[in-house]
Structure 1
Amino acid sequence: MVTAAELIQKKGRHLEQGLSDAEISQYLAAVEGWTLQDGKIVRSFDFKNYYETLAFVNAIAWVIHADDHHPELTVTYNRVVARFDTHSVNGGKGGISENDFIAAAKVDAIYRQR
């Protein structure tokens, strides 16, 4: 079974193959707090104020951009909801890939540092 620590050490790469439902379940176990919703992995992050919220968004933008795997973000005063999926898998139909979990683990690591 993969761990969050192992995922953090990986770099995202171009993938054309999505994960199976069983593989998604295994990866979800490695990234606590993330759930599968509408074909994306999703997690909500809470903050004390807007400054902390935006600082988090800026921090994850820098890290995630390096792997070229960008989330869909909903940003409010004290909350960020991040959603990941991979548009290039399954013949361009989209789905969940290992890249989504690599990015989720890195976002979690940033959140824990606040």
Structure 2
Amino acid sequence: MNHAELAAAHCQPLKGPDHALSSESVAQLLAQLPGWSLAANGRELQHEFRFRDFHHTMGFVNAVAWMANREDHHPDLEVGYNYCRMRYSTHDVGGLSLNDFICAAKVDVIAA
């Protein structure tokens, strides 16, 4: 899937390790998400976004929260005055799933 296809897709309920992506699939999908990287544990997708000020940071965070609720797939967020650090993983599969990459692509659209 390319970035546009990921951003247009919707999350599906996933449970169990059978839905965790292989390292090959993770590498292929990660190549579609410039600026995103794997956390040191290899089981989370991460990105840090920077903003002009708190107002813009919170506007972004609120938009991400709305999208996350709609997709029923929620990131871990660390928010400060002019930044938002975001991590995605699918706890129900014990690692990364397609849902993480779908939401990351949607976040990129919001950030743009």
Instruction: Tell me how far 1:59 sits from its aligned partner.
Output: 0.6
2:86 is aligned with 1:87 = no
* Structure 1 vs Structure 2 CA RMSD: 0.7
Take 1:56 and 1:86, find their aligned partners in 2: how far apart are those partners?
22
Q: How many residue pairs end up in the alignment?
A: 107
Q: Do structure 1's residue 15 and structure 2's residue 26 form an aligned pair?
A: no
- How far does residue 9 in structure 1 lie from its aligned partner after superposition? 1.0
Query: Match for 1:15: what amino acid?
Result: L
Instruction: Report the equivalent of 1:103.
Output: 103
Please, which runs of 5 or more residues in structure 2 have no aligned partner? none
TM-score normalised to structure 2 length:
0.93
Shift of 1:99: 0.1
Equivalent of 1:62 in 66, 73, 78: 66
Q: Identity rate of aligned residues, in percent?
A: 43
Structure 1 residue 15, shift from structure 2 partner: 1.6
Unmatched 5+ stretches in structure 1: none
1:98: Cα distance to partner? 0.2
Q: What are the equivalent positions in structure 2 for 1:25-36 lying under 5 Å apart? A: 25-36=27-38
Alpha-carbon separation, structure 1, partners of 2:23 and 2:95: 11
What is the Cα deviation at residue 60 of structure 1? Answer: 0.7
Extract structure 1 runs of 4+ deviating beyond 6 A. Answer: none
- Alpha-carbon distance in structure 2 between the residues aligned to 1:77 and 1:98: 31
